[in-house]
Structure 1
Amino acid sequence: MADVKLEIQMLHDRVLVRISPEDGERRSSGGIVIPSTAQMAKRLSWGDVHGIGTHVRHVKVGDRVLFNPDDQLEVEVHGQTYLVMRERDVHATATEQTDQGTGLYL
C-alpha cells in the first residue's frame, strides 16, 4: 500500500499551490545575497497551481498565482509541501501565452 500514489481532488473553492523555488534566496540590484529567512516588509509570494476545486472559476492548473503565504495552511503530499487556500485569497494569476507570443503575462 505504501507504493500507491493517490490523486488529490480539491473541493469547493480550494486551490492547491506549491511555492515557487525562486522565492527563496534572492539577490539585490547591487549584488548582495538576501537569504529567504531575512525579515522584510510583508511580502507576497508566487506559486504554481497543482489542483483546484469544482467551484474555482478564475484559476486553472498550471497557472502561477500571487498570494500571501502567511495566511495559508500547509500540507505535505508525497514528500512535497503545498499550501491550501481559497480562490479569493489569490491576488493575481500569470499564464503562459504561447499563441500570441512568448513570455509570462499578468
Structure 2
Amino acid sequence: MNPYDKAHELARALTNSEELTSLIEAKNLIDQSPDDRLLIEHFRQKQMEMSSHQMQGTEPNDDQKAEWAKLVTEVNGKPNLTRYLEAEGRVGQLMQDINRILATPFEALNDTNNE
C-alpha cells in the first residue's frame, strides 16, 4: 500500500466532502456581496487582535471589548456569514480529526522515547 496514493485518495474524498462543499458554497455567497466580504474581513482582523490579547495574557480594553461584541452581533445577524463560519468550523473539526488519525502511527515513537 503506497501512502502517496492514499493521500491523493484522501484529497479527492475531502474535495467531494459535504463539509468542504458547504464551505465553498458559503464562501461564494459572501464573495457576491462586497459588504459581507468587508464585514468578514473586519471580523477576522478583530478576531486575530482578540486572540493576540489572549495569547499574551492581557485583557483588551473596554472599547475593544465593546467593538468586538458589536461586531459579533453584526456578523450573527447576517445568515450568509453565520453559514460560512459554521461551515468553516465543520471543516476545521474534520481536519483536526484527520490529523489526529494520521498521527496515530507515530505514537509508538513517543512511547519508545519514554521508556
Under a length normalisation based on structure 1, what TM-score does the superposition of the two structures give?
A: 0.25
Under a length normalisation based on structure 2, what TM-score does the superposition of the two structures give?
A: 0.24
Q: With a CA cutoff of 8 Å and minimum separation of 6, indicate the structure with the bigger relative contact order.
A: 2
As a proportion of its length, which structure holds more strand? 1
